[in-house]
Chains A and B, each alone.
Chain A
Amino acid sequence: MGSNMAEAHPVGFQWVMEAKERGAPVFHIDPRFTRTSAHADLHVPLRAGTDIAFLGGVVNHILSNELDFREYVVAYTNASFLLREDYRDTEDLDGLFSGYDPETGAYDPASWQYESVEEKHAGRDADSAAKEQSSSYQHGSGGPRVEGGSDRIAADPTLRHPRCVYQVLKRHFSRYTPEMVARVCGVSEEVFRAVCDAWTANSGREHTAALVYSVGWTQHTTGSQCIRAGAIVQLLLGNIGRPGGGVFALRGHASIQGSTDIPTLFNLLPGYLPMPTPEHTDLSSYVDSIRADHQKGFWRAADTYAVSLLKEFWGDRATADNDYCFDYLPRITGDHGTYRTVMDMVDGKVFGYFLLGQNPAVGSAHGRLQRLGMANLDWLVVRDLTMIESATFWRDSPEVETGEIAPERCRTEVFFFPAASHVEKEGTFTQTQRMLQWREKAVEPRDDQRSELWFFYHLGRRLRERLAGSTDERDRPLLDLWWDYAVVDDEPQAADVLRRVNGVDLTADRAVGGYTELKADGTTAAGCWIYSGVYADEVNQAARRKPGREQNLYATEWGWAWPMNRRVLYNRASADPEGRPWSERKALVWWDAEHGRWVGHDVPDFERDKPPDYVPEEGSVGVEALRGDDPFIMQADGKGWLFAPSGLQDGPLPTHYEPHESPVRNPLYGQQGNPTRKVYGRPDNPSNPAPPEPHGEVFPFVLTTSRLTEHHTAGGMSRTLPHLAELQPELFVEVSPRLARERGLEHLGWAHLVTSRAVVEARVVVTDRIPPLRVEDRVVHQVWLPYHWGTTGLVRGDSANDLFGVVVDPNVFIQETKVATCDVRPGRRPRGPALLDFLAGYRRRAGITADTGTHVLTAGPGAEGPAHTEEES
């Protein structure tokens, strides 16, 4: 779902085909018929942005027919835990949960906690800044804290108590009937039932089913909850931690997983440690905010991860006496995400910008805003393999055509540094299944081409030289930095950096073997605790290349996967509570009673010698508090979460909300869209109106985008290559024959698409691949286009991302670029200043102001809630 694996991850798709050949049925649930659909047993087209309604229907089908894998659900999930009496569900509040504040557009999640968790703990995640914190993302791999997770949690193992998670879940999804799925998604009841039957028939003791998604799920204002919905289905069916099961995120860039683990992200430090906020006045208050006093699992040892990171940053200067330089870390106070930052550029609050192998002029939502932001800087540094739109915006962007940017008036100083390619440097990428693979250097880069490692190492060295002798307190973190990585011929050695990321025992100058060896007393330094073990025994484990054909399917001697080279996360769940495989067919790891250890085909994701019947002593916390049958060892209560008592900004359960821009009123609730989405209401970020606002008919069609096999995201690595440019030379838009008739569009002729932000022209492809759907009482047309084009390269064209505005998921601040509304007209678009008049005309007709789309609350007695607009600008 939300993935076109055959075209976007083609070589990975061979394994789906392999499974199909062995008899696995394949379903493709996605708005458009693609090559993935062509290879599937059934393609189910649905309206873009309705995946939660579909999955909610599957949950309802499972629960009303009692098709869940009951032993797994009772033993390994929080199904039996009791919730508080004051919890109110969307069933009670017309689409809202308890705790909503219309003024801030955020929830106080206190009432979502387990009943047995004390009040004083429960409210700690909630504060007025909740909306700004992206806190669920900061919880990263660990999951949020639950005070009391290690205590006995009030539960009803019979699952009958009306306040147990199982019953709450059942009630929450009870209105997601097949009829409702048909009304919302445009999927017939018959087809929907076929999917439910296949999914449940292929799950259980003897079978497992895998769920695959991509950015078709994440790029929505409900993105996080969409993945939660998939995880709930998979937990109910016993498909997590078992061979052939799982929820697979197919990620789009060679090391996008790595750049999340070792984050170039504002709210995280390496290994999903959060960036500190001003409330964290010292190290202990910071560590206490990550872990609860009474919780289970490996996050309890957060102090060892944090101190080891500070030791790697500041070496000898970090001591117990100075709190390991914790004070040196800058503090975040809200949203410092890329879209917020770009708006701050437009507003003149940001002066310098580095672009490192990224091309936001084409690849980010609202291209015009991106380019206007870049045109209002003191300076811009672009590092790339080739010249890209983000380096040349001052002379060839669409805004030059409209007169909004002119080289003679654009003040931004631009530096372009040529980068070394993947074969001209060594280092690791982390691929989509958390596996690090080392690349050898094949050749030297030429002329001024350099690696980022070179650039940043020497930038740091020069900055430190420039500031040497400074007594300014502001410069201390830089001057005290441990910056002495091995350098050969001017090039810093990636292997040495990787070794320090792995972690070093400073008393013996020895690489640690794993994160359990890290200490909070300053004797270990480690850059990213989840990567501990990648350099175990002083060997670069990521460089291992034992051929796949000489290993079992898990190939644990090829590369290295975090954590601790485990290939299937939470694989303790592949065995029953007693430690025996659920079935022989589906054996993965199991308890070997004779030798007193967990064994199997994969590295067990569990303490090696903790027996399945282990019961912790009263009062234990952390790892010791994990029972022998608690497979979810990173969770604060050791269980898989059907219901999320904390950690999410927009509710403990997924709920269908309409996209920010939608042609229909939400058939399920009075609440139209996600009531906690961030809308950035400002004149340069207009929204198309959506019900209950009037004039939605000006933008009557649903717009969605995705990528092609032959191009790579913003195109810098593909539009510039002859082979790939020739294979996909031109931007095109797919429309159904019916829409083509309605709008007078000719196959292979031109059309232009209009939103309140931009007009984009493309060649028309009239095709059955994007069928109109019956939603409620009407026909909804969807149009699709790829987004790879821009103004440079061998093949050029308009950028589809210009069509979108910026509105984001409240948990992770990812923008809704998988669905918006638009108009479609035949012929080419207007040019020059006429384009601006044309757009202004559309905005006028639709009555668009900075207010439009910002009244996020639409449920309850007040009907229309307050507008969430920015005061300035």
Chain B
Amino acid sequence: MRAAAAGVSMERRREAGVGPKRWLELWPVYRQLTGGDPLGRGHAAQSPRSAGLTARTEGADHVAKSICPYCAVGCGQRVYVADDRVLQIEGDPDSPISRGRLCPKGSASTQLVNGPQRARKVLYREPYGTEWQELDLDTAMDMVVDRVLDARDKGWQDVDEHGARVRRTLGLASLGGATLDNEENYLIKKLFTALGALQIENQARI
């Protein structure tokens, strides 16, 4: 083992053209004995290749402070960005909740935001259709406006079956909110309420 280690180091020494002290430091056993890593499981075992690697986060031009989007523990995240693209998402050591940790889901956040599963285009399936079609966002928004007003009117009630004033529609419903922001939930509730819609629900009921 000693010979093998020395042989490898000799080679490197020639490549690097370094003096005896540096040569010794390239030898893991030396580092293990002198470098505060007596078990040889940490720095002492590091190969020059891994020493030469840099963290994905290093090329970031900007770090955004964020929060994990999965469960309600609310772990802190740091989002490393370069050229308007997410390089990596890491736990935020500043967070008093998570102290830098993320679980497997939180750690998969980079795939969640960058992965090919992300839909990018509006899709439309017509009644009795067998395939999706692409649709322009603007057109789709206008079509939804038409349909919301139509469903509202079809389900409209000025009074209920006992003649009591209710001023509402039972023609449209909504489900969702637990994965959304507070500000978003606020606008959703406000807009639907103004439309007279009240079957507005989310995961908190489930």
A336 touches B188 (CB 8 A): no
Contacts of B89 in A (CB 8 A): 423
Residues 436-463 of A at the B interface (beta carbon under 8 Å) = 436-437, 439-444, 446-453, 456-460, 462-463
Q: Is A610 an interface residue (CB 8 A)?
A: no
B204 engages A259 (CB within 8 Å): yes
Contacts of B182 in A (CB 8 A): 255, 258-259, 261-262, 427-430, 436, 498, 501, 531
Considering the chains assembled together, what is the distance between the CA atoms of A278 and B163 in angstroms? 10
User: Which B residues from 66 to 86 make CB contacts under 8 A with A?
Assistant: 66-76, 79, 81, 84-86
Task: Kindly identify, within residues 518 to 563 of chain A, every residue whose CB is under 8 Å from any CB belonging to chain B.
Answer: 527-528, 531, 545-549, 551, 553, 555, 558
Partner of B74 from A345, A431, A478 at Cβ < 8 Å: A431
Chain B residue, CB-CB nearest to A449 = B120
B173-190, CB < 8 A from A = 173-190
Q: Determine if A254 and B70 form an interchain contact, defined as CB atoms under 8 angstroms apart.
A: yes
Residue of A nearest to B69 (CB): A422
Knowing A257-B72, A364-B206, A718-B105, the reply to whether A441 touches B64 (Cβ < 8 A) is: yes
Most buried by B among A11, A262, A332, A555: A11
Q: Which of A9, A254, A332, A528 contacts B69 (CB 8 A)?
A: A254
CA distance A456 to B185 in the complex (A): 10
Task: Say if the beta carbon of B202 comes within 8 Å of chain A.
Answer: yes
B48 part of interface (Cβ distance < 8 Å): no
* Any B CB within 8 A of the CB of A266: yes
Q: Which residues of A contact B191 (CB under 8 A)?
A: 456, 459-460, 463, 481
Partner of B125, one of A251, A327, A394, A551: A394
B57 within 8 A of A: no
* Contact segment of B3-11, B21-29, B31-39, B135-143: B135-143
Listed residue (A252, A259, A430, A794) with the most chain B CB atoms within 10 angstroms of its CB? A259
A453 pairs with B66, CB closer than 8 A:
no
Bound-state Cα–Cα, A356 to B192, Å: 13
Distance (Å) between the CB of A286 and the closest chain B CB?
13
| B143 touching A448, Cβ below 8 Å | no
Interface centre among A257, A332, A365, A453 (most CB of B within 10 A): A453
Segment of A77-85, A184-192, A404-412, A618-626 in the binding face: A404-412
Is B144 on the interface with A (CB-CB < 8 A)?
A: yes
A498 to B84 Cα, complex, angstroms: 26
Of chain A, the residue at the smallest CB distance from B143 is A415
How far is it, in angstroms, between the C-alpha of A710 and the C-alpha of B105 when the chains are bound? 6
Q: Does B201 contact A (CB under 8 A)?
A: yes
The 8 Å CB contact of A11, one of B101, B113, B129, is: B101
Chain B: CB-nearest residue to A379: B147
* B147 in complex: contacting residue of A252, A360, A378, A793, CB < 8 Å: A378
B75 touches A11 (CB 8 A): yes
Residues of B within 8 A of A407 (CB): 128-130
What CA separation (Å) do A353 and B155 show in the bound complex? 13
Is B65 interfacial (CB 8 A cutoff)?
A: yes
Q: Which residues of B contact A548 (CB under 8 A)?
A: 94-97, 99
Q: How far is the CA of A414 from the CA of B62 in the complex (A)?
A: 39
A344 to B198, alpha carbons, bound, how many Å?
A: 14
Q: Does B170 contact A (CB under 8 A)?
A: yes
B44 within 8 A of A: no
- Interface residue A363 (Cβ < 8 Å from any Cβ of B): yes
A545 CA / B201 CA spacing, docked (Å): 32
Identity of the chain B residue whose Cβ is nearest the Cβ of A388 in the assembled complex = B119
- For A, the interface residue count at a CB cutoff of 8 angstroms equals 157
Which residues of chain A have C-beta atoms less than 8 A from B73's C-beta? Answer: 9-12, 250, 431-432
Which listed residue (B94, B111, B151, B194) contacts A481, Cβ 8 A?
Answer: B194
For residue B177, give the distance in angstroms from its CB to the closest CB of chain A: 4
**A501-B72 contact given A352-B151, A463-B145, CB 8 Å threshold:** no
Query: Does the CB pair A278–B97 fall under 8 Å?
Result: no
Contacts of A474 in B (CB 8 A): 156, 167, 196
CB within 8 A of A385: which of B112, B129, B185? B112
Contact B71 A416 (CB under 8 A): no
Chain B hits for A440, CB < 8 A: 64-66, 79
Is A120 among interface residues, defined by CB-CB distance under 8 A?
A: no
Cβ-defined partner of A724 (8 Å) among B99, B105, B170, B181: B105
Question: 0/1 per residue, B101-131, Cβ < 8 Å to A?
Answer: 1111111110111010111111111111110
In the assembled complex, the Cα of A262 lies from the Cα of B202 at a distance in Å of: 11
CA distance A527 to B184 in the complex (A): 12
* Chain A CB within 10 Å, residue with most, of B65, B176, B182: B182
Closest chain B residue, CB of each to CB of A501: B186
Residue of B nearest to A14 (CB): B101
Known: A416-B132, A423-B64. A254 touches B72 (CB 8 A): yes
A253-B71, A256-B72, A474-B156 given as contacts; is B84 within 8 A of A384 (CB)? no
Q: Enumerate chain B residues within 8 angstroms of A447, measured Cβ to Cβ.
A: 120-121
Instruction: Tell me which of B96, B108, B155, B181 contacts A452 (CB under 8 A).
Output: B181
Which A residues are in CB contact (< 8 Å) with B101?
A: 11, 14
Q: Are B175 and A358 in touch, CB under 8 angstroms?
A: yes
B198 touches A363 (CB 8 A): no
Contact code string A376-416 (vs B, CB < 8 Å = 1, else 0): 00110101111100000011000000000001111111111
Query: With A253-B71, A395-B130 as given contacts, are A270 and B120 in contact (CB-CB < 8 Å)?
Result: no
Q: Is A721 an interface residue (CB 8 A)?
A: yes
Task: Write the nearest CB–CB distance from A555 to chain B, whole angstroms.
Answer: 4
Interface residues of A in 32-78 (CB under 8 A from B): none
Chain B residues with Cβ below 8 Å from A381 are 144
User: When A423-B79, A723-B108 are in contact, do A328 and B184 touch as well, CB less than 8 Å?
Assistant: no
A814 to chain B, nearest CB (A): 6
Nearest chain B CB to A293 CB, angstrom units = 25
* Distance of A313 Cα from B202 Cα, bound (Å): 21
Q: How many angstroms between the C-alpha atoms of A561 and B175 in the bound complex? A: 26
CB proximity of B96 to chain A, nearest CB, Å: 3
- Is the beta-carbon distance between A408 and B130 smaller than 8 angstroms? yes
Residues 329-357 of chain A, each 1 if its beta carbon lies under 8 Å from chain B, else 0: 11111001110010011000111111111
- In contact, B79 and A356 (Cβ under 8 angstroms): no
Please tell me if the beta carbons of A12 and B85 are within 8 angstroms of each other in the complex: no
Chain A, residue nearest B122 (CB): A448
Query: Does B46 belong to the interface (CB within 8 Å)?
Result: no
Which residues of chain B come closer than 8 Å to A341, judged between CB atoms?
173, 199, 201
Contacts of B203 in A (CB 8 A): 252-253, 256, 259, 358, 363, 713
Cβ contact of A8, chosen from B71, B84, B108, B169, cutoff 8 A:
B71
With A351-B155, A558-B95: A262-B189 Cβ-Cβ less than 8 Å: yes
With A331-B168, A352-B173, A462-B142 known as contacts, the answer to whether A255 contacts B205 (CB < 8 A) is no
Give me 14 A-to-B residue pairs in the complex whose CB atoms sit less than 8 angstroms apart, sorted by A's number: A8-B71, A10-B104, A252-B72, A255-B185, A264-B201, A350-B155, A353-B173, A356-B180, A386-B119, A429-B181, A437-B76, A448-B122, A494-B184, A545-B65
Closest 5 CB pairs of A and B: A548-B96, A431-B74, A356-B176, A427-B181, A278-B164
**Which positions in B face A, CB cutoff 8 Å?**
62, 64-76, 79, 81, 84-86, 89, 93-99, 101-109, 111-113, 115, 117-130, 132, 135, 137, 140-145, 147-151, 154-156, 160, 162, 164-191, 193-206
